[in-house]
Amino acid sequence: MTTTDLSVVPARTRVHQVTGRRVLRSEWAKFWSLRSSWITLGVALVLLVLFGTIAGYTYSPDATGAEGPPGPGSGGDAVALALTGVTFASLAVGVLGVLLSAGEYSTGMIRSTLAAVPRRLPVLWAKSAVIGVIALILSTVGALAAFQLGAPGLDGERISLSLGDDGVLRGLAGAGVYLALVAVAGVALGVLLRSSAGAIAALVGILLVLPGLATLLPDSWYDTITPYLPSNAGSAIYALTESAGSLSPGQGLAVFAGWVALALAGAAHRLVRTDA
């Protein structure tokens, strides 16, 4: 007869099932554990508030041609002035999205991440959700702060507005939505290209260079195509007024969200089909 020494029997290891909620919590923890996340978010918020505030105090009707009706992004209304820093903030949050995804490929951490989540796609959705929600909240707060801080500089001016005026809150919230979508697009480009430098270059090219290249097209093509370019459609989301040929806020949101969804679809296909 033999006896078993229970002291040497290993304890049963508890295995946790991989769920979307646990993947989301993991990506949330990874995001806030990176110093670059704090720095880049801070830069985006400072740019958004600083440029919007300065624009309010340096506004000059003669310089903006305020005699005619204001157009989106022209600086012809108080919302457009408050959101002067959106372009710069979009680069910051877009880069943050890229670093959140492509950064794992450069460090090799993506192998551990995908080993823990074999289905892979929940990783992409979790990263997009984390950066999207954070960018939405902070960008909306930054847009509201820029508007309120710059408002005293517009006292007595024709374009002066308050938060209670028609379309103001919608425009400021639209800026938050736009920047959140840019951040998600950064995540998608990072997964799709798997290179921080390449994805950042692609982001800058799409948001800043592509509209300039469109000016080389014939006038008939330019007028038809440019409203649907990502940055132009995105700017329509937070525009207080519509100019001739531009999209409405709802149309701009649908078009820009479509571009982001297309990038996510490409990223999801490569994530599933190719090795890390």
Tokens of 242: 């519509």
Give the separation between CA 216 and CA 100, rounded to whole angstroms: 35
Share of the chain above pLDDT 90, in %: 59
pLDDT bracket for residue 1 (50, 70, 90): very low
- Joined together, the tokens standing for residue 137 give 């909240």
Nearest to 97 by CA among 184, 23, 9, 177: 184
Q: Are 56 and 161 in contact (CB under 8 A)?
A: no
pLDDT digits (tens, 9 = 90+) for 174-233: 999 999 999 999 999 999 999 999 999 999 999 999 999 998 988 888 889 999 999 999
Question: Of 173, 224, 250, 202, nearest to 94 (Cα)?
Answer: 202
CA distance 138 to 213: 32
User: For residue 52, which of 94, 17, 7, 83 has the smallest C-alpha distance?
Assistant: 83
15-25 mean pLDDT? 79
Residues 104-155 pLDDT 10s = 888 888 888 888 888 889 999 999 999 999 999 999 999 999 999 998 988 8
Element (H, E) at 213: helix 210-214
Q: Show me where the domains of the chain are located.
A: 35-273
pTM confidence score: 0.88
With tokens 């990072």, the residue in question is 190
CA distance 70 to 183: 29
Helices 121-150 and 20-33, axial angle in degrees (round to 10): 50
